[in-house]
Structure 1
């Protein structure tokens, strides 16, 4: 399992967004990955989903971050 937050964030994205975000500057990827980690840590609903399906919780957090940060 990858431990690098950017690698984990990119893996949580759907393929289209993974390619788009993967092409952005590393600094922007780091900022988005940090926002993703905060989303995972702070949302109680994601905790419940994480118990059922960690990949689904990570994907939902990634979707929320993209929507909020870049309007995707």
Structure 2
């Protein structure tokens, strides 16, 4: 995100895709490390087969100067 002039404080929503919901506690702990000031809106979906065998994939919506209000 830094390469496009944004940072984690500007994240307004994250979609989290996990291969196994049994690993959600570990995902939550890592997520809290990146968002210590509070979580952006989030969706968690179990997807049994993610690309190339990864266990977790995420995408994020970031606030911008085009009208999306920053969270906070």
Larger radius of gyration: 2
**Is this a same-fold pair by TM over 0.5?**
no
What TM-score do you get using the length of structure 2 for normalisation? 0.29
Higher share of residues assigned helix:
1
Structure with higher RCO (Cα < 8 A, 6+ apart): 2
TM-score, normalised to structure 1's length?
0.29
